[in-house]
Every structure is written in structure tokens, then in C-alpha cells.
Amino acid sequence: MLRRIRSLPGLPIVATDGEIGKLKDVYFDDLHWAVRYLVVDTGGWLAGRKVLISPYSVSRIDWEGGGVELRLRKQQVQDSPDIDTDKPVSRQYETDFMRYYGYPDYWGGPLLWGATAYPFFDVGAPLPVAERESEYPRRPGDPHLRSAAEVAGYRIQACDDAIGHLEDLLFEPDSWAVRYLIVDTRNWWPGQQVVIPPRWIEGMDWPEHRVKVGVSRAQVKEAPRFDPAQVPTREYEEQLHAHYRREGYWGKSG
């Protein structure tokens, strides 16, 4: 079942021996479009320090208010590498972070989580080593991580005209893959929201806060209606992709 990214902030983050804070934001990878880290505000516990939690550490999410349950103890989180969330997350920090927790590198393989399509791995198996970094071009110091809170409101540009702004993201909790951008079209089509898969993105101008997608405004308007009050069903997704004559993500490795 798909969930909104905006349903995450505010949830308690609970270690095996107690709560560590509240979920403040998420960082997603704009190369493969997957949630890579939860940003947790530890409040009074660690004097307001913010920490990152990987989906590898999540054992369960109680959507009814119980929060995000971790496979970690509070001491493990307390001793984790420090991070300045006001600065870009470096690849070196990520490497140190993964090694500290004993997690495999998600950027070191062909699937969404490196060697697998999900953030699960055999704790008894040797960790896979990241493959040639040149296969995944990146700007120095920038591993393509973006704040979900920061990109809210970005303009979405179709191939022929603007279609609205980014309202939210829909993600798949098992894989943590971002499956759709939710676009608010109020400026030209009042009262409507539409969804666009990130696979259809053709360009991103982050300094200008603009994302270009490979569909036309007419195609968007004629697409099956998206009901923001309902979780998209597979039937709806199939109709949506058939309308655009695009292949669906399901059945794929990521």
C-alpha cells in the first residue's frame, strides 16, 4: 500500500529500549527515487541533536500512532556518526554511517538497495562492497540526497506548459521507493491533483525549483482522475499507465 511522505513527520521513533525522538523529515535519492534516511529530532534526549536513521533499521511502522519501530538500541543511535542536517550529506559520511551500523552500501549495485530491491540483508553474510563509483556520476560531495520538506512546492513543468507544483510524494513502505509525485494543478485546473511517476522525469533544475516531466498538459487532464482522499489501487495504476502508454514499475526489481 502506498503512503504519503507527509504522513511520516511527527511520528515517534522508537528504539528497542525506548523512544528517541520524532521524525522531522526524510532524505530521498533523486537518482533512483527512494527514501534513504529518516531525519529524527531527538529533542531533550540528546539536547536537540538530529540523527539519521536508515530504512535498514526499521522493523515496523505503526500508522495508527505507535510510530516507527527500530531494530536499534538507544545507545547505538547515541554513538552514531554526527551529522549537520543543514549541510549536504557527503558520500564519506554515508560510508562511515553504513560501516558503523554494519549495513551494505545501497549505491553499490544495480538494484534499488544495491544488491537487493528492499532494505533487507542477511546479517551473517559479508557486506557487498560498493562498485565503481564512476557508474553513478555525482557532483563532488553530493550523493543526490534531497529533503522531502525542501522540495515541497517545486514547480512541475510538462513538455508544453506548467502543470502545477509538487504537493507530496507517494512511497512504497516495503521498498521505500518513491512511486509518484503528487502535483497540485490549482493554477490551471482548480480543485484537482494528479500523480506523475518519477520515472517520467526528463530534467530537474534544482536551483530554479523546477522539475520537467515527459507528458503534455492535455495528457494530464485526460488521465484517470486521482482521488487524494484514497490510496491508489493497482487497478488505478494500471489505468494510469495504460493512458500514458507507459510500462508500470510493478514486477520490476526497483
Q: Which residues pair with 3 in a beta bridge?
A: 171
Q: What percent of the chain has a predicted confidence (pLDDT) above 90?
A: 78
* Residue given cell 554526527 in the structure block: 82
Instruction: Give the pLDDT confidence score for residue 48 in this predicted structure.
Output: 82
Instruction: Give the pLDDT confidence score for residue 142 in this predicted structure.
Output: 53
Structure confidence at residue 111 as a pLDDT band (50, 70, 90): very high
The architecture (CATH level 2) of 3-145 comes to: Roll (2.30)
CA distance 80 to 100: 7
CATH 3.90.50.10 spans which residues of the chain?
A: 152-244
Q: Please tell me the CATH code under which domain 152-244 is placed.
A: 3.90.50.10
CA distance 15 to 136: 33
> Average of pLDDT values for 27-48?
94
Cβ contact 41:21 at 8 Å: yes
Say what the pTM is. Answer: 0.90
Q: What percent of the chain has a predicted confidence (pLDDT) above 70?
A: 89
Residue 155 burial (C-beta neighbours within 10 Å; 0-12, 13-18, 19+): middle
> Average of pLDDT values for 128-156?
67
CA distance 203 to 184: 19
Instruction: Give the pLDDT confidence score for residue 161 in this predicted structure.
Output: 94
Mean pLDDT, the chain, rounded, equals: 89
| Residues 6+ positions from 190 with CB-CB distance below 8 Å | none
Computed on alpha carbons and rounded to an integer, the radius of gyration of the chain in Å comes to: 19
Instruction: Give the pLDDT confidence score for residue 252 in this predicted structure.
Output: 63
CATH 2.30.30.240 spans which residues of the chain?
A: 3-145
